[in-house]
Every structure is written in structure tokens, then in C-alpha cells.
Amino acid sequence: MVVRQQNSQTGVTQIVVTGNKSMSWRANVVLAASLGAVSVIFGGGIALFGFWLILPFAGLEFLLVLYCLGVVYRKLGFTEVISLNQDSVVVESGYQRPDNRLELPRRWATIEFDNPSSLFEVGTLVIRAGSKTLEVGHLLNKEEKRQLHRELHSGLRADASTLALLS
């Protein structure tokens, strides 16, 4: 998901990039519990026929599904904040707080989008300034990457004198 925010007083444009969380953590737990209940019911039925060894595996299956949902949910919590200032492009990324920060000079910053023709590839979106290169939007689908490319391109093309008037 791509959200653009502009501060009219400072002239700073922030583009917030996050993964698409279609379900809350609570909904994920309800899903895992539902699957676990079905697994235990079937496992209990099979155990009544004397195959009792199936019950521990039904419990392990529930725990594995819950763990995998947790890993995916955490991975989708990754956030990138791209700030377009008058002089620089700042990219901060992390899970709960900014873990990485890269500042590039706005004057030299370019956006490169490799838009593959294949329906199954999403392409790569790169911000480059001199020898520094950073891929952004790696959690986005193809259409969202196009939107991010448009937002970054229009933000970088904004006239520096317009930004100077705002500050």
C-alpha cells in the first residue's frame, strides 16, 4: 500500500510504503484456531478407532500453522518511509521503528523501474544517486509499484524553487 502525505508548511513530501495486511492478527488467530479445531475433531475421531498417535500431530499441525501465520504477519509489518526534502531524499525502513536510514542528495537522485512484460513478475524499483542504490517497495505488487514510481517521479520532478518558497 502506498500513501502520500505532504506538509504544506515545510514542503516535505512523505511516501509511506507498507505491505497489504488483508487480515488483522486477531483474524489470523481465529483462522488458525478454526483449522486447529477441525484438525483436533478429525484427530479425535481417528483416535477413537485406535490410532491415538494422530493426536500429537494434530496439535503440532496447529502450532505450525500459527507460527507460519505469525511469520507472514511480521514480514508484512515492514514499512518504508520515503521523505522528499528540499535537498535530500531520505529512505527509512524497519518493522516497529526505523532500522535502516539512507539519505541521498535530491539533485542526483533518479528512479529506475524495471517493468517486466511477464504477468508473474513484479519488477524492481530502485532509487539511485551516484554509487548508492536502494530497492524500495519490495512488498508491493506490480500495480502498487507503478503507483509508487509515479509518486516518486512526480515528487522528484517538483521544482526546487517551489519547495524553497514553501519553507
Picking from 73, 58, 90, the residue whose alpha carbon sits closest to that of residue 24 is 73
How far apart, in whole angstroms, are the C-alpha atoms of residue 75 and residue 93? Answer: 12
**Domain extents for the chain?**
2-20+80-166, 25-75
Q: Where does the pLDDT of residue 116 fall: very low under 50, low under 70, confident under 90, or very high at 90 and above?
A: confident
How far apart, in whole angstroms, are the C-alpha atoms of residue 83 and residue 20? Answer: 21
Q: What is the mean pLDDT of residues 156-160?
A: 66
Considering the four listed CATH numbers 3.60.21, 1.10.8, 2.40.128, 2.30.29, the one that applies to the domain covering 2-20+80-166 is: 2.30.29
Q: What is the mean pLDDT of residues 139-143?
A: 90
Q: How far is CA 19 from CA 31, 76, 158, in A?
A: 20, 5, 27
Mean pLDDT score across all residues of the chain: 88
Q: Where does the pLDDT of residue 71 fall: very low under 50, low under 70, confident under 90, or very high at 90 and above?
A: very high
Cα dihedral: 97, 128, 108, 15 (round 10): -40
Q: Where does the pLDDT of residue 99 fall: very low under 50, low under 70, confident under 90, or very high at 90 and above?
A: very high
Please write the tens of the pLDDT for every residue from 1-22: 899 988 888 888 899 999 888 8
The set of cell numbers assigned to 93 is 525502513
